[in-house]
Amino acid sequence: MPGTNFKTVDEYLDTFPQRTRKILEKVREAIRETAPEAEEVISYQMPTYKLGKNLVHFAGYANHIGFYPTPSAITAFADELKGYKTSKGAVQFPLDHPLPLELITRIVQFRIKENAKKQS
Q: Which domains are assigned to the chain?
A: 9-111 (3.90.1150.200)
* Predicted local distance difference test score (pLDDT) of residue 117: 85
> Strands, E, within the chain: which ranges?
39-43, 46-51, 53-60, 64-68, 85-87, 90-94
User: Does residue 58 contact residue 16 with C-beta atoms inside 8 Å?
Assistant: no
pLDDT at 57 over 70: yes
For the beta sheet containing 46-51, the strands, ordered from the edge strand earlier in sequence to the opposite edge, are 39-43, 46-51, 53-60, 64-68, 90-94, 85-87
User: Does residue 76 contact residue 63 with C-beta atoms inside 8 Å?
Assistant: no
Chain segment 30-46, per-residue pLDDT in tens: 999 999 999 999 999 99
Mean pLDDT of all residues belonging to the chain: 94
* Predicted local distance difference test score (pLDDT) of residue 4: 75
For the segment 4-9, the average pLDDT, to the nearest whole number, is 90
**Close Cβ partners of 94 (under 8 Å, ≥ 6 residues apart):** 63, 64, 84
pTM greater than 0.85: yes
Length of the chain in terms of residues written? 120
Among candidates 71, 78, 72, which has minimal Cα distance to 103? 78
Reported as type and span, the H/E element at residue 31 is: helix 18-34
